Structures are given as C-alpha cells and as structure tokens.
Chain A
Amino acid sequence: AQRVTQPEKLLSVFKGAPVELKCNYSYSGSPELFWYVQYSRQRLQLLLRHISRESIKGFTADLNKGETSFHLKKPFAQEEDSAMYYCALSPDFNKFYFGSGTKLNVKP
C-alpha cells in the first residue's frame, strides 16, 4: 500500500537559514511526487511536482528512488515561507495520498 511519511510536525528556522522538509514514501511502482503548501487562512495549493523538475519560490525537491525520498529544500528561508507543507504521492494522477504535513516556521 502507498504511504507518505513526513517525520517532522514542526520545523523552525531563522530567516536566511537553509531549510529541508523531509518526505519519504512507500510505493511498489513509480509514482509521481508533489509538494503542496497551505499558507495561513488560505487553501491548499500546488508548490511543485517531481515531473516538471522546477524550482518554485526558491524551493526544489529531488526524487531519490533509492531512498524513496522527495525532500523539499530551500537554501535561504524567508519569513513568507512560513506555512504548512504537505508531500503527496500519486500512482496515476487519479488518486493522491498526502503526508501528515510539516509546519514550517521561519523566525525573523
């Protein structure tokens, strides 16, 4: 069965510090991986997806099939990055499975 694990419920960093939000998954095939973000009082929105290999708002995520990980990274965190981040897996774009989320708090 598919499973997405985000081990950290809360991650606090200072502005300008690097940040890495961890995501590990278990799935027998080759799923697509996504990161979604939810800013305070806003709806969930797509941040980036593995398939497009893009960098959004300075964030990148590399799929490591050997370690079954899809960690989200940013070299210099900004206060406006404070939000809830969810890693998600989709076997076929018809189902999406979310991790429990990590709350990122960027301190001034």
Chain B
Amino acid sequence: GAVVSQHPSWVICKSGTSVKIECRSLDFQATTMFWYRQFPKQSLMLMATSNEGSKATYEQGVEKDKFLINHASLTLSTLTVTSAHPEDSSFYICSARKNTDTQYFGPGTRLTVL
C-alpha cells in the first residue's frame, strides 16, 4: 500500500499559460501532502505543506500567488503554476503523509515552459 500518483508525468506549455499538476494518494488517506521542486542535479526543495481543508503553508521565498495549492480531499492535492515562465521549468514532486512521520513520494512531473 501507500502509493502516490502524479498527473501529468510531463507537460510542455507556452509562457504565460497556467499548468495544473495533480497528486493523489491511491490507497490511503493523506492528511498532509508536500510539494517539492527539484532542479537538475540538485536536491529537493520544499515549496509548501498542504493540509486537507486548510490553506497551504508556503516556504520562504515561494510565491503563493504563483504556485496555487489546493487540497480539497484526503486523497487529492493540486499544484497550479500560474502564468508560467521558462524559469518555472523544473521537476515537481509531491509526497503524501500516511501517518505522523512517513511520507510517500509521487513519481514527479517534469514541467517545461517554452
């Protein structure tokens, strides 16, 4: 058990458009989901922590109006990159927490903004 999926796995979009990435916990309820960003050959950088039914908590330096996070149910969180620009191109990874300390990762979404 404890499988997390992300959709899409990769997306290419034009500059100025918005892109939505979904993160789902397939076989468990996740009260907390995390969104990370990973640049090539670099580590995961926590963007925000998302709790079901409440506003996401963003890390310092992450624009909440740029990266909209919605956690409407215990199995789904979405990240919307609004008015995407080439510098937003990155690998976005979500994780879902099943209990107090274990997080399960999704496979990631590769975003390329032209």
Judge: A and B partners, yes or no.
yes
A43 touching B107, Cβ below 8 Å: yes
Closest residue on chain A to residue B48 by CB atoms: A95
Which of A48-98 touch B at CB < 8 Å?
49, 51, 86, 90, 93-98
Least Cβ distance of B91 to chain A in Å?
A: 11
Please measure, in the bound complex, the distance between the C-alpha atom of A94 and the C-alpha atom of B100, giving whole angstroms: 9
The answer to whether B49 touches A45 (Cβ under 8 A) is no
- B42 x A44 contact (CB < 8 A): no
* Residue interface bits B22-42, CB-to-A below 8 A is 1, else 0: 000000000010101000001
Q: Choose among B44, B45, B46, B105 the residue that contacts A45 (Cβ–Cβ < 8 A).
A: B105
Residues A46 and B43 in contact, CB atoms below 8 Å apart:
no
The number of residue pairs between A and B whose CB atoms lie closer than 8 Å in the complex comes to 41
Chain A residue at smallest Cβ distance from B44: A98
Q: Please give the number of chain A residues whose Cβ is less than 8 angstroms from any Cβ of chain B in the complex.
A: 18
CA distance A49 to B46 in the complex (A): 19
Residue in A closest to B51 when the chains form the complex, CB atoms = A94
Most buried by A among B43, B45, B100, B104: B43
Contact in complex: A100, B42 (CB < 8 Å)? yes
Residues of A within 8 A of B100 (CB): 93
Question: Which residues of B are at the interface with A, using a C-beta cutoff of 8 A?
Answer: 4, 32, 34, 36, 42-46, 49, 57, 59, 93, 95, 97, 100-108
